[in-house]
C-alpha cells in the first residue's frame, strides 16, 4: 500500500489498478472510502479504461476486426508502475504492450496522479497517444464512499446536493447493462437527491450533460460531508450494490453501449479521439468537509 498525506488527511493506494483504497481525516480518524468488503463489492475506486461500462455483445469492431473486452476495460486489473512519489503526491503509469494490443490495438500510456492539499484529494488523468493513428478510448472514475458516512446512521440518511437547480433525467439500463433508450426524471427536493435502495434497484443512475460540475454527499445528523468537483466529465454515474453500505459517485468521459450500438469503435457514444503524440487530461477532486 502506498500512502500520501499532509497535516489533515491521509490517502492510500494499490499498485494494482492504481486503485485508491483509503481516505482518512487524521484529526478524528474518520475513514470515508469504502473498504472493499467482498461480501458486497471487492473494489474501492477502480479506474475505467479504455472503456466505461459494457460493450454490446462484449465486443467492438475496429478496422474490420473484432475484439472482446469485459465491462469497464482492463486497466483496473493491471499492475501500474510508480513513476514519481513524494510525501504529498504519487504518479502511477500503465503502458500498452503485446498483451493489451491483443484486445485493444493502440499504443498509449495512462498516468494517474493523486495529490493531497489541505483536506482535498485531487485525481488527475493523463492519456498519451504513443502511436501513429488516432487513439480511441473512454475513461472514468468509480470511487465508492462509506454510506452512512459515520457509524450509527442509515443508508437512507444520505443526500446528494447538486450544484445547479436542474431536472435530473436518468438514462435507464437493460439487464445487460446497456442503455435501453428509456429516460426517467429522478424526483428531487430542490437541488437535493435523497439516497434510497429503490434508486438502485435497476442498476446505476446515469446522467448526461449535467449543468452541475459539483455534488456534495452528506448524511442527515452528521457534520461530515464530501464535496466532489468534476468539471470536464460529460457523464455522471451513481451506484450502490444491493444492501451495501456505500455509494459510488462516478465522473466519466465515456459511457456504456446502447442496445442499438453499431459495435464500431468509431461510432461509440462518448468515445474520445486523441491524435498521435497528443495528451488528454482530466481531473476531479474530493474535499472532506465538516
Q: Per residue in 49-102, pLDDT tens?
A: 999 999 999 999 999 999 999 999 999 999 999 999 999 999 999 999 999 999
Cα-flanking dihedrals φ and ψ of residue 22, to 5°? -160, 145
What pLDDT was estimated at residue 114? 98
Domain count, the chain: 1
Q: What is d(CA 89, CA 87) in angstroms, rounded to the nearest whole number?
A: 6
Find how far residue 34's CA is from the centre of its chain: 14
Alpha carbon distance 264, 286 (integer Å)? 35
pLDDT for position 150: 87
As a whole number of angstroms, the distance between CA 43 and CA 36 comes to 5
Cα 168 to chain centroid, rounded: 19
Give the C-alpha separation, 191 to 167, whole Å: 9
Rounded mean pLDDT of the chain? 97
Confidence at residue 177, expressed as pLDDT on a 0 to 100 scale: 95
The share of the chain scoring above pLDDT 70, in percent, equals 100
pLDDT of residue 284: 98
pLDDT at 152: 83
Please check the confidence at residue 290 and state whether its pLDDT lies above 90: no
- Comparing CA positions, the residue from 234, 257, 255, 274 lying closest to residue 61 is 257
228-248 residue pLDDT tens: 999 999 999 999 999 999 999
What is the pLDDT, as a whole number, of residue 248? 98
Confidence of residue 204 (pLDDT cuts 50, 70, 90): very high
**Cα 171 to chain center, whole Å?**
17
Q: Which cell is 256 given?
A: 456504456
Q: Are 51 and 73 in contact (CB under 8 A)?
A: yes
Domain at 21, CATH number: 2.70.98.10
The predicted structure's pLDDT at residue 63: 96
Q: Tell me the mean pLDDT in the region 14-27.
A: 98
For the chain, what percent of residues have pLDDT higher than 90?
Answer: 97
- Chain Cα centroid distance, residue 187: 23
Which structural domain range is residue 204 located in?
Answer: 2-289
pLDDT in tens, 136-193: 999 999 999 999 998 888 999 999 999 999 999 999 999 999 999 999 999 999 999 9
pLDDT at 221: 87
**Are 26 and 9 spatial neighbours (Cβ–Cβ below 8 Å)?**
yes
Amino acid at each position: 500500500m502506498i500512502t500520501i498525506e499532509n497535516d489533515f488527511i491521509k490517502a492510500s493506494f494499490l499498485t494494482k489498478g492504481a486503485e485508491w483504497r483509503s481516505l482518512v481525516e487524521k484529526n478524528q480518524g474518520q475513514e470515508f472510502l469504502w473498504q472493499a468488503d467482498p461480501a458486497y463489492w471487492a473494489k474501492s475506486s477502480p479506474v475505467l479504461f479504455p472503456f466505461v461500462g459494457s460493450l454490446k455483445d462484449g465486443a467492438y469492431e475496429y478496422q474490420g476486426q473484432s475484439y472482446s473486452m469485459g465491462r469497464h476495460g482492463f486497466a483496473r486489473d493491471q499492475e501500474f508502475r510508480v513513476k514519481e512519489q513524494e510525501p504529498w503526491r504519487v504518479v502511477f503509469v500503465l503502458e500498452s504492450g503485446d498483451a493489451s494490443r491483443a484486445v485493444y490495438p493502440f499504443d498509449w500510456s495512462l498516468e494517474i496522479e493523486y495529490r493531497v492539499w489541505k483536506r482535498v484529494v485531487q485525481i488527475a488523468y493523463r492519456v498519451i497517444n504513443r502511436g501513429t493513428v488516432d487513439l480511441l478510448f473512454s475513461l472514468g472514475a468509480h470511487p465508492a464512499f462509506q454510506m452512512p458516512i459515520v457509524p450509527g446512521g442509515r443508508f437512507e440518511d444520505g443526500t446528494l446536493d447538486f450544484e445547479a437547480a436542474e431536472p435530473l433525467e436518468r438514462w435507464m439500463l437493460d439487464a445487460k447493462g446497456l442503455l435501453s433508450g428509456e429516460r426517467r426524471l429522478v424526483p428531487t427536493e430542490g437541488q437535493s437527491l435523497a439516497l434510497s435502495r429503490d434508486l438502485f434497484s435497476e442498476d446505476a443512475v446515469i446522467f448526461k450533460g449535467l449543468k452541475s460540475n459539483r455534488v456534495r454527499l452528506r448524511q442527515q445528523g452528521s457534520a461530515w460531508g464530501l464535496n466532489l468537483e468534476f468539471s470536464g466529465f460529460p457523464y455522471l454515474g451513481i451506484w450502490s450494490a444491493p444492501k451495501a453500505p456505500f455509494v459510488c459517485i462516478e465522473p466519466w468521459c465515456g459511457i456504456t453501449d446502447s442496445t442499438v450500438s453499431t459495435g464500431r469503435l468509431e461510432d461509440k457514444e462518448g468515445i474520445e479521439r486523441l491524435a498521435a503524440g497528443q495528451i488528454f487530461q482530466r481531473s476531479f477532486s474530493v474535499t472532506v468537509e465538516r
